[in-house]
Chains A and B, each alone.
Chain A
Amino acid sequence: MSDVALAPGSTNVTWNPPARGIVGMVCLIIAEAAIFVIFIVAYIYYIGKSLSGPTPKDVLSLPIFTSICLLSSSLTVHAAVSALRRSQQHLCSLWLATTVLLGGIFLAGTAHEWYDLIYNHGLTIRTNLFGTTFYSLVGLHATHVIVGLILLSLALWFSLRGQMQHHHSEKLEVLSLYWHFVDAVWVVVFLVVYVLGR
């Protein structure tokens, strides 16, 4: 069986295929991006087609502060990964905690916005096409934020317990890739919902 290894002309070139975690996450991101594309297309397609109010102009306000929080959390998670790469585990925990906090602020902002829309403006998913597409698109994104926050909190937990070692930096990088994706999607959602759609 080992004969197979001895193919003629084999060279001793270092064999370093890409890490499977990263490849897998990139694939997942492509698939998730396809899902988001469909929801975004539906949102754009239905802009201005609601038969009744309220319209985006009436009720939506720009969530600038929470957006800044979410986008800056991309930087902090990146900092966490590079800290772990340099084996600075405490710094890594600190950055992870910041990331979770920033993500939490964003989520709280979305929750507040939804509460306001539902109870003060009477906009639900049944109200009109705007409600349908808005809640599904923003809700889908928020679901991804929640999943990301759970995973980041787990990482933080491991990190605080000192179980996160240098050789885990690749796993953390895979997680950070996902978080970057969630942030990038928010840029698109923000542009479509709050800029284009308003």
Chain B
Amino acid sequence: MNSEEVEFQVSHPNQEHGLQLPSPTAWPVVLALGVALLLTGMVTSVMVSILGLVLAFLASVGWFRQVLPDEAHQPVEVQAEPVQVSTTRRLATRLPEGSTSRKIIPVETFRITTGIRGGIAGGAAMAVPAAIYSWVKYHSIWYAMNLLAAGGFISWIGASDAFLSEFHLRGLLAALVIHGLTSVLVGLLYGAMLPMFPRYPIVTAGFMAPLLLTGILHSAIAVVSPILNDRIDWFWFIASQIAFGLVCGFVVNLQAKVRTPQFQALPFSVRAGIHGDIHDRLHDESTDSDGEDTSR
């Protein structure tokens, strides 16, 4: 886009000429004062504004003449004071040869998208207990859906059970949006936490996902229509959340683990599975000696 000489003049003015720093200048402060006085005149008197205008004009001219055609620089002397940056006060003690000196956690984990997939699958699964509940209680599978959709339509808050048992296209769409969004959000949050709990996804999801879901979905329902909140059957609600969690975990478990970049840093024998000391390393917290920095 630009020629080379423009490049260094503009973005790195100091590289070629030793140490050239922009020279100090009073024009910015004068311009600022001018503009400030210009506005201050609006609450005091016109004279102040005129003074501000004059100052601002003078400063603009001065500033321009300093920057154009070439920016003013002044040379700065480098103090010959060596800074020992490359040393550290505490030297890290190294572990014996053959082992990386870093604790590597986690070596394998799931992708964040895995969590989203799990969330969507769980969201679909959650519909099953909800439909069963609706059928058992109100002999219509649409009741739970309409209950959720009522969040979007204020007029449905006082609606009768009979009305909520019918099928409404609007209800289906609204419920899909609300439920889909929450499922994806819960999945996303869960996916982001997966690297912290890389193992046993079914158990973690069975526990974590309902927890997150209660946090997000349930509070949201309470918000959107507190009256509807009264109609929710808690037993079934929690049952469907657990269904969500288990299916979510199951789906996550199906997905392949990905190897984090750290895996690449392991010695070849470990990666090839000859030593297989990944788990030892993961849990061997005590191998750290005191002076050493723990990493990752």
Contacts and interface: CB of A to CB of B under 8 A. Distances in A.
Contact, chains A and B (beta carbon distance below 8 A) = yes
Interface of A: 1, 3-4, 16-17, 19-21, 154, 158, 163-171
Contacts of A19: 1-2, 6-7, 10-11
Contacts of B11: 17, 19-20
B69 A166 contact: no
Interface string B213-241: 00000000000000000000000000000
Nearest to B81: A1
A158 B10 contact: no
B43 interface: no
Contacts of B5: 167
B169 interface: no
B64 interface: yes
B9 interface: yes
A16 B6 CA distance: 12
Contact of B2 (A158, A164, A169): A169
A4 B2 contact: no
Contacts of A3: 85-86
A158 B1 CA distance: 23
A117 to B, nearest CB: 26
Interface string B40-77: 00000000000000000000000010001100000000
A27 B247 CA distance: 46
A170 B5 CA distance: 11
Contacts of B2: 19, 169-170
A21 B1 CA distance: 13
Nearest to B69: A163
Interface string B1-26: 11101110111000000000000000
A22 to B, nearest CB: 8
B85 A166 contact: no
A170 B69 contact: no
A163 B82 CA distance: 43
7 closest A-B pairs (Cβ-Cβ)? A3-B86, A1-B83, A167-B6, A170-B6, A163-B69, A170-B2, A19-B10
Interface string B132-156: 0000000000000000000000000
Given A158-B68, A163-B69, A4 B85 contact: yes
A169 B64 CA distance: 17
A1 B3 CA distance: 31
A154 B64 CA distance: 10
A16 B12 CA distance: 10
Contacts of B86: 3-4
B69 A168 contact: yes
B24 to A, nearest CB: 20
15 contacts: A19-B6, A19-B7, A19-B10, A20-B11, A21-B10, A154-B64, A158-B69, A164-B69, A167-B5, A167-B6, A167-B9, A168-B69, A170-B2, A170-B10, A171-B68
B8 to A, nearest CB: 10
A154 to B, nearest CB: 7
A99 B284 CA distance: 72
A171 B70 CA distance: 11
Nearest to A21: B10
B68 A166 contact: no
Contacts of B69: 158, 163-165, 168
A137 B64 CA distance: 30
A44 to B, nearest CB: 25
Contacts of B3: 166-167
A170 B1 CA distance: 9
Contacts of A1: 82-83, 85
Contacts of A164: 69
A168 B3 CA distance: 11
A16 B7 contact: yes
Nearest to A4: B85
A19 to B, nearest CB: 6
Contacts of B64: 154
A17 B9 CA distance: 13
A171 B9 CA distance: 11
Contacts of B7: 16, 19
A20 B85 contact: no
Nearest to A6: B86
B253 to A, nearest CB: 38
A166 B3 CA distance: 9
Contact of B10 (A4, A20, A166): A20
Contacts of B68: 158, 163, 171
Given A4-B85, A17-B11, A154-B64, 20 more contacts: A3-B85, A3-B86, A4-B86, A16-B7, A19-B1, A19-B2, A19-B7, A19-B10, A19-B11, A20-B10, A20-B11, A158-B68, A158-B69, A164-B69, A165-B69, A167-B5, A167-B6, A167-B9, A170-B6, A170-B10
